[in-house]
Chains A and B, each alone.
Chain A
Amino acid sequence: MISRKRVISTALLLSMAAFSLVGCKKAEAPKAAEAADAKPMTRADYTGDIVVWSFTDELQDMMPVFEEAYPNVNVEFTVIPNQDEVYLNKINTTLRSRSATPDAFTGEAAYYKQFVDAGYWEPISDAPYNAEELMSDLIPYVPDSSRNADGKITALSWQATPGALFYRRSIAKDVLGTDDPDTVSEWTSDLNKFYELGEKVRETYGGSKYLLAGYSDMSEFIFNLRDQPYIVNNKLVIPEGLLDYMRIAKDMRDNGIESGTTTWQPPWFSSMADASVMCYILPTWGLHYVLKPNAEPEANEGKAEFTGDWALAVPPASYSWGGTWIGINAMSQKKDLAWQIVKFLGSDPDFLEHWAKSTGDFVANTKVIDKIKGDFAEPFLGGQNHYAYFAEEADKVDVSHRGPWDFQIQNAWGDQVALYASGNKSFDNAVADFKKAVKEILPDVDVD
């Protein structure tokens, strides 16, 4: 018995060794050839199938462009919208079991820092990826904000998402006597004057029109107004800006300066069309994907002309809102192919130029931006060049204080603001209850 077993295992070992020799030979052959010819791989040399998952349908239109550039790569792409956290649920469940599928996947501003901390994404700063070499062409904050604890880049993005403020020209004319963006910006670029503008809107229309659809529209630039993270040395820090926001939210509600709805609720969308609200504080993507289709749906579908009743002005503070990053699954078996797609989407000038021109989205490659920013005249904005504005704003974006739990912490603050603004809670209680809510998110953090 024993001897036979040994024979079998020896045979197995031998055959395995033979197998691995063959395997090595096969794997080494192209490398040797490459070294000899010193010829870099062309796009057509990349061959195979890769799996890409994303919560956003934008990639659906990008994949054909990639497959055209890489004729021998076939992308099996799946969209899983994150409604009810299902995308996060699927990614987490899959990657916790160290699955090699998907080869590349996206993460959104709200949670991509969590992906970075967990090491879901392969660090790509060094060889064989050398993403650092791309930095000179990219808006720095985009790759920088994906750096892990070792300072390595883990993901790229095709877009940068600086913020703006959009207003209705007809309301500006009624209230200020002019719709000139520079004059309006004088009122919108300072928070105190912005509030004053709100009072003027109310007086002009006797309370039937509002400055904002809801005070929560201000939250994104408020959240960017801080000089340190929320958690410093395991202790909660509440920026002064958040406290101001809570007070101003209540003033706005009490004085009829905002219409009383909440960002992303159905009435918020409908207020864009019915001309009851002057300003929306939205970033790059907000113009094309939120404001245009909801404010003038017919024109957006090409069935009518844009009225040109909108314009872009400077918001009370610079900010960045949202954004989608794509990285390589650290467990993928096809990292070389996955890197090609990450690099293509996150830096390729031809692709990004095509993308910017076909969608109007603001891209992350500075060379492309410089090349095309002169040509934009947005009919929805009465011919204004939003691209040139965003190009300036993108330089001001500072997300160095972003942390993995910002989304949860900011939501908790928003909940308390709503209770204070509606008169259901005192200021001090709201702050105290916020601290309790942070304790729910991060039980070990010192909140006092």
Chain B
Amino acid sequence: MARGLFRNRDNKGYLFILPYFLAMLTFQIYPIFYTFYLSFFKPLNLIENEFIGFGNYARLLQNPLFYTAIGNTWFIWLMNYIPQIVFALLLAVILTNPRIRGRELFRTVYFLPNLVTAASIGVLFAVLLDFRSGALNHILIDIGVFTQPYEWIQDKMAMRIAVSLIQWWQWFGYTMIIFMAGLSAISDELYEAAHIDGASSIQAFFRITLPLLKPTMLYVMVTSLIGGLQIFDIPRVLTNGRGGPDNALTTMVLYLYNQAFKNFNLGYASALAYALFIMILVFSAISFKLIRTRD
């Protein structure tokens, strides 16, 4: 029987993916279903729950804050992923060029922001943005832009932009390294051939690099959706965990997190988790459709 199955070489692929699926079934499936199960309950206290069917989902869909959180998440995502991908791609191309001096150093240093802890970013920004003693207000008053201090942490747009900026800064080096690994898959011969044909480096970039980088692009796009739409630690540290001012920084996962761990409502948080899951799934599928890997 087994022999018959594996007479077709392609079916041997099952053997290669088998250990993965065994580990997944053992360790990952139960928690995922447990979360789903929880989404049908409402807490009575920290231990006891009450079954309420789709009540959490109904509450979610009728709650304006849910849509605010979706809006905030997408706003922050768009504001940082577009510049992030542009910078990462540009740097990856520049830093794989052997003629650039200090490539290794640049590459390592660009990755460092990824290692700065969220907590220390929180402390840094609290010191910078404070109303009267903050460095930013001092500078702006000294150079005459403001006549009196401005309360940055109560400004919705300024705070959203600050989060996007920090996210960009933390992740452009990371994405750059991914692109560099992707570039390493492209053969140099193609560039040499293009060069002989008289193509400029700009032409080579659009005709060779970009098309051949499609699989990496797809990876970056989909993992950015998965990771980026789950953003929560920077909004959390900048707002003392509250997502303020006026929920302007309440992203979907921060909302979920506060419901689960501050309001102790695991059921509602689980419903949020599944709403987010569906959103990420749909947009990942769209990304796959848009960036086809096999033409």
A touches B (Cβ under 8 A): yes
Which residues of A come within 8 Å of B, CB atoms? 83-85, 88-89, 92, 95-96, 114-115, 117-120, 259-262, 265-267, 270-271, 408, 411, 415, 418-419, 422, 424-425, 433, 436, 440-441, 443
Q: Are A443 and B59 in contact (CB under 8 A)?
A: yes
Contacts of A120 in B (CB 8 A): 46-47
Q: Are A259 and B133 in contact (CB under 8 A)?
A: yes
13 A-B contacts (beta carbon < 8 Å): A95-B46, A114-B45, A119-B45, A260-B131, A261-B132, A261-B133, A267-B126, A267-B133, A415-B245, A418-B154, A422-B151, A441-B263, A443-B59
Which residue of the partner chain A has the closest CB to B65?
Answer: A440
User: Distance (Å) between the CB of B77 and the closest chain A CB?
Assistant: 23
User: Distance (Å) between the CB of B273 and the closest chain A CB?
Assistant: 16
A265 to B133, CA, bound (A): 12
A411 to B263, CA, bound (A): 12
A89 to B260, CA, bound (A): 9
User: Distance (Å) between the CB of A203 and the closest chain B CB?
Assistant: 18
**Interface membership of chain B positions 174-213, coded 1 if the CB is closer than 8 angstroms to chain A and 0 otherwise:** 0000000000000000000000000000000000000000
Q: Which of B126-160 contact A (CB under 8 A)?
A: 126-127, 130-134, 149, 151, 154-155
User: Distance (Å) between the CB of A14 and the closest chain B CB?
Assistant: 38
Contacts of B246 in A (CB 8 A): 415, 419, 424-425, 433
A14 to B248, CA, bound (A): 68
B32 within 8 A of A: no
**Interface membership of chain B positions 227-248, coded 1 if the CB is closer than 8 angstroms to chain A and 0 otherwise:** 0000000001000111011100
Give the secondary structure class of B's interface: loop
Apart from the given pairs A95-B47, A259-B133, A443-B268, 15 other A-B contacts in the complex at a CB distance below 8 Å: A83-B119, A115-B46, A117-B46, A259-B131, A261-B130, A261-B133, A265-B130, A267-B130, A267-B133, A415-B245, A418-B245, A422-B154, A424-B151, A424-B245, A440-B65
User: Distance (Å) between the CB of B49 and the closest chain A CB?
Assistant: 10
Cross-interface CB contact of B149 among A260, A262, A408, A443, cutoff 8 Å: A260
Contacts of A84 in B (CB 8 A): 236, 241
Contacts of A89 in B (CB 8 A): 261
Contacts of A96 in B (CB 8 A): 46-47
Which residue of the partner chain A has the closest CB to B148?
Answer: A256
Contacts of A265 in B (CB 8 A): 126, 130
Q: Are A118 and B47 in contact (CB under 8 A)?
A: yes
Q: Are B244 and A418 in contact (CB under 8 A)?
A: yes
Q: Are B133 and A270 in contact (CB under 8 A)?
A: yes
**Chain B interfacial residues counted at CB < 8 A:** 33
Q: Are A411 and B154 in contact (CB under 8 A)?
A: no
Contacts of A85 in B (CB 8 A): 261-262
B219 within 8 A of A: no
Which residue of the partner chain B has the closest CB to A276?
Answer: B133
Contacts of A422 in B (CB 8 A): 151, 154
Cross-interface CB contact of B154 among A88, A95, A270, A419, cutoff 8 Å: A419
Contacts of A266 in B (CB 8 A): 123, 126-127, 130
Which residue of the partner chain B has the closest CB to A259?
Answer: B132
A89 to B155, CA, bound (A): 31
Contacts of B126 in A (CB 8 A): 265-267
B264 within 8 A of A: yes
Most central of B132, B149, B265, B268 by chain A CB within 10 Å? B132
Which residue of the partner chain B has the closest CB to A260?
Answer: B131
A4 to B225, CA, bound (A): 62
Cross-interface CB contact of B46 among A118, A267, A441, cutoff 8 Å: A118
> A260-B132, A271-B133, A419-B245 are contacts. A92–B264 as well, Cβ < 8 Å?
yes
Cross-interface CB contact of B264 among A114, A411, A418, cutoff 8 Å: A114
Cross-interface CB contact of B263 among A83, A260, A408, cutoff 8 Å: A408
**Interface membership of chain B positions 253-271, coded 1 if the CB is closer than 8 angstroms to chain A and 0 otherwise:** 0000001011111001000
Contacts of A408 in B (CB 8 A): 262-263
Contacts of B259 in A (CB 8 A): 440
Contacts of B154 in A (CB 8 A): 418-419, 422, 424
Contacts of B127 in A (CB 8 A): 266-267
In the A-B complex, list the 7 residue pairs whose CB atoms are closest, starting with the nearest: A260-B131, A118-B46, A422-B154, A260-B132, A267-B130, A118-B45, A422-B151
Cross-interface CB contact of B261 among A88, A260, A261, A425, cutoff 8 Å: A88
A270 to B127, CA, bound (A): 10
User: Distance (Å) between the CB of A83 and the closest chain B CB?
Assistant: 8
A324 to B181, CA, bound (A): 52
Contacts of B47 in A (CB 8 A): 95-96, 118-120
Contacts of B241 in A (CB 8 A): 84
**Interface membership of chain B positions 99-123, coded 1 if the CB is closer than 8 angstroms to chain A and 0 otherwise:** 0000000000000000000010001
Contacts of A415 in B (CB 8 A): 242, 244-246
Contacts of B65 in A (CB 8 A): 436, 440
Cross-interface CB contact of B130 among A118, A260, A433, A441, cutoff 8 Å: A260
Which residue of the partner chain A has the closest CB to B59?
Answer: A443
User: Distance (Å) between the CB of B128 and the closest chain A CB?
Assistant: 10
User: Distance (Å) between the CB of B177 and the closest chain A CB?
Assistant: 28
User: Distance (Å) between the CB of B209 and the closest chain A CB?
Assistant: 41
User: Distance (Å) between the CB of A250 and the closest chain B CB?
Assistant: 12
Which residue of the partner chain B has the closest CB to A418?
Answer: B154
Q: Are A440 and B133 in contact (CB under 8 A)?
A: no
User: Distance (Å) between the CB of B53 and the closest chain A CB?
Assistant: 15
A270 to B241, CA, bound (A): 22
Contacts of B46 in A (CB 8 A): 92, 95-96, 114-115, 117-118, 120
